[in-house]
Each structure stands twice: as structure tokens, then as C-alpha cells.
Amino acid sequence: MEDASYRVVLDTNQVVAAGTRWLDQGVQAPDRNIPRRVLIRVAEQHTGLYCGKVIGEYLEKLVDLGHPPTRAAKMMAYIMGAFTPVAITTRAAPVRPTDADDEVFLLCALDGNADFLVSEDGALIKLKPNYTRPLIGTSSELAPQLGA
């Protein structure tokens, strides 16, 4: 990968799939967890983007899935320390996802001028033909472009 730097929004499924155990135990090499590689690469090389509702959903899902509170808090601190906050001003996406809960990720990407929106969510993936920026794709599809 070149030294390109991109603006990236990660859907909740990416953060959850990255796990939190690595925050205490480190990352094993080679790391076969593509969402974790993407998360770390975005934090270290690119400009990750989030808004309050996105961070809230990340935390809610981690807690609901039984991640220890200390590790969930570490993940939020990691993301908020490495990523850039975005103020959402757009009221509705030009082409909305069928799942209304997913729209905040699209709005964050649009208002944050993101290059990529990384998601495994079918409602967002279906929108790929409607958006060239942000480019919407799965972690497996976008990992090479992000250098992960």
C-alpha cells in the first residue's frame, strides 16, 4: 500500500468483530482477524471518524455481548483517542438504508467526508451502487486498500 491516508467510518459490527481481549493481551502475529487489523490500521495510519451516536452504539453492543466493562471502556478510549469526532448536520442520507439504525453511520461518513464506510451489514452493503464516496464495503474488501 502507498502512504495514502483515508477518512474511514467503521460500522459497529467491525468494532465488535475486532474484539477487546487484544487490548489487554496484545495482538498475536500473524493476526488473522481482519476487522481488528482494519481497526488498528485506521487508528494508526488513517483518520477514523465517529460521532456521539456511533460511539454510543459501539459501547452498547460491546456491553450487550458480554465484553468486560473495563475492556469495553478501553476500546472506547482507544477509538476516541485515535479517531476524529464528526458533527452530524445532514438530516437524511440521499439514499437511506432499509434499517433506520444504520443511517447514522452513513451520515457520519457523509458529514465527515469519508472515503470509506466499512461494514458487514446487509442494509449498508446494498447501498454500494448508490455511493461512490464514501465507498461502502466489507472489511475483507477494503482491507487491502487500507493497508490492513
pLDDT in tens, 76-101: 999 999 999 999 999 999 999 999 99
Residue 48 lies in a domain: yes
pLDDT given for residue 5 in this prediction: 95
The answer to whether position 99 is within a domain reads yes
- Domain annotation covers residue 67: yes
Residue at 47 is within a domain: yes
How much of the chain, in percent, has pLDDT values that exceed 90?
A: 93
**pLDDT tens column, 112-138:** 999 999 999 999 999 999 999 999 999
* Assigned domain for 81 exists: yes
Mean pLDDT of the chain: 95
For residue 91, tell me if it sits in a domain: yes
Query: Domain range for residue 114?
Result: 7-146
Alpha-carbon distance 97 to 77, whole Å?
A: 29
CATH of the domain at 67: 3.40.50.1010
Residue type, 39: L
117 lies in a domain? Answer: yes
- Please say if the pLDDT value at position 60 is more than 60: yes
Note the pLDDT of residue 2.
53
Give the residues across from 7 on adjacent strands.
47
The count of C-alpha atoms lying within 13 angstroms of the C-alpha of 83, restricted to the half-sphere facing its C-beta, is 28
Number of domains, the chain: 1
Task: Express each pLDDT in 12-58 by its tens digit.
Answer: 999 999 999 999 998 888 999 999 999 999 999 999 999 999 999 99
Which positions ≥6 away from 22 have C-beta within 8 Å? Answer: 36
